[in-house]
Amino acid sequence: MHPRAFQIQWARFGKTARSHPVHFDPSKPSDPDCRLLHSGHTTKAEPNHLFRTEAKAQSTIMRLTIINQFYVPDLAPTGRLAASLAEHRAQVGDDVSVISSTGGYVPQSPAAEATDQGNPKVHRIWTPRAGKHSAAARLADYAVFSILASLRMLTLPAQDVVITLTTPPFIAWAAVLHRLLHPSTAIVLWNMDCYPEILERTGLIREDSASSRLLRWLNRRLFGQLSAVVALDHAMQELLKSRYRPQAGGPSWHVISNWEPSDRYPAKPTLPDWPEAQRLGLRDRFVILYSGNAGFGHSFETVIGAAARLRDEPFTWLFVGGGEKFVWLQQQALEHDLAQIHLVDYVPQDDVASVLTSADCALITMNEKALGVISPSKLHACLATGLPILYLGPPGGNVDEAIQRYGCGVSLRHGDVDGIVAFVRRLADDPEARLEMSQKARAAFEQAYCDSQTLPQFDRLLASLAPEADAGLTSTS
């Protein structure tokens, strides 16, 4: 980290001291130790066990199953989210089952065994673990898991609610099969990605092709079977409504953002240094971090232009993760002689917070074709560690919404090299401005993007679907 970047003591987010300490006032809503509650009052953040106790007092106990191809300890973000919800509902008192695979989101993902005892019970489906290196490999994993998970759902005892994510695509049909045997089961689609829209926008299939029409027909039939749909942002919800909302009846619609656990990202962390930081020479640099997958939904041409513009200044562009765009980034760094670009493979989950606190700013990109079909989940951990957000992409998605609502960064469009250069220079040269934006980032996490804010929204949704509930939640349309 460059000494210009942040010379104020930043113990709250693990930064080293250079001058006077910062004192936070818990009476101010901008203080990251405060949380704006739904009641409109600002109060001290409460431990997670308190909201779980309240949920237990208000919830109806039920049999609940969650279906997703990935689950902890796999590195997939959807697996961590599924585990957070499953463990929360188990603590509430539900009898929770999870249908998942043995892992394989990336080669570094550890293999996992079933835990058929206890709560939640995790039923592991064997898959080839072919990985993501090709469409054929991914399809093989998808097909095996879909078939075996569907068979497993047919053998489960009657469930009150089944929540399905969207890995593999259309796995919600496994829940429909379960309901053929148990008609009272409610089905919730927790939509992480939109298919066939992703396939169309990546050019894998044509929008007017027979395969596209078939997949859309399957979706229309599927959405008629759902009790509720959870989208990750309003752009995603509007896309799904415009294409698959039944003309009569149909599911209730809800927007619930993804999250990170408050316990994993406390306001005053004590974290070890990331071992790679010294090897990469980050100590005296201003670090712009991109973490996670870099795939079809992300564009970096403008980022390369900004890195070239700033090649003689103390800025480092750090990419930690993987994906098909990592090869392109490496080629661009070599072609343009950008030694300040570093690419590091995925790190273990326990090291993620240390990686984040080694940075000064978070980079998130999304191309126009991805708006509404994906929702970057890397946002939430970056906010939790107080990183100002540099977003490059179309307006209207979850990252743009967070920046507009909380002032925790800047939202720029592709091609705006000048905007990127001006923003990172300002953060590096004005530590007070960076401090203010860091506080707003942490406040956004505590007010909207942590488990103590999002899990109660699932509690209310599930309570409305309980067998004795008089009526479902009102649609958000």
Ordered alpha helix ranges (H), 96-233: 135-155, 172-181, 197-201, 210-223
Give tens-digit pLDDT for 230-240: 999 999 999 99
User: 141 and 134 in contact (C-beta within 8 Å)?
Assistant: no
Note the pLDDT of residue 30. 36
Give tens-digit pLDDT for 259-284: 999 999 998 777 888 999 999 999 89
For residues 258 and 82, give the distance between their C-alpha atoms in angstroms, rounded to a whole number: 10
Q: Would you say residue 31 has pLDDT above 60? A: no
Using the 8-state DSSP alphabet, how is residue 200 labeled? H
Q: For the chain, give the longest Cα–Cα distance.
A: 67
Task: Name the CATH topology of 275-447.
Answer: Rossmann fold (3.40.50)
Residue type, 229: V
For 383, phi then psi, to 5°, come to: -65, -40
What percent of the chain clears pLDDT 90, i.e. is strictly above it? 72
Give tens-digit pLDDT for 361-417: 999 999 999 999 999 999 999 999 999 999 999 999 999 999 999 999 999 999 999
Chain centre distance of CA 74: 15
Q: Would you say residue 473 has pLDDT above 50? A: no
**145-146-148 Cα angle (round to 5):** 65
Please state the domain extents for the chain: 59-259+451-465, 275-447
Note the pLDDT of residue 282. 94
The CATH class that applies to domain 59-259+451-465 reads alpha beta
Give tens-digit pLDDT for 308-360: 999 999 999 999 999 999 999 999 999 999 999 999 999 988 899 999 999 99
User: 213 and 190 in contact (C-beta within 8 Å)?
Assistant: no
CATH fold match for the domains 59-259+451-465 and 275-447: yes
Note the pLDDT of residue 50. 56
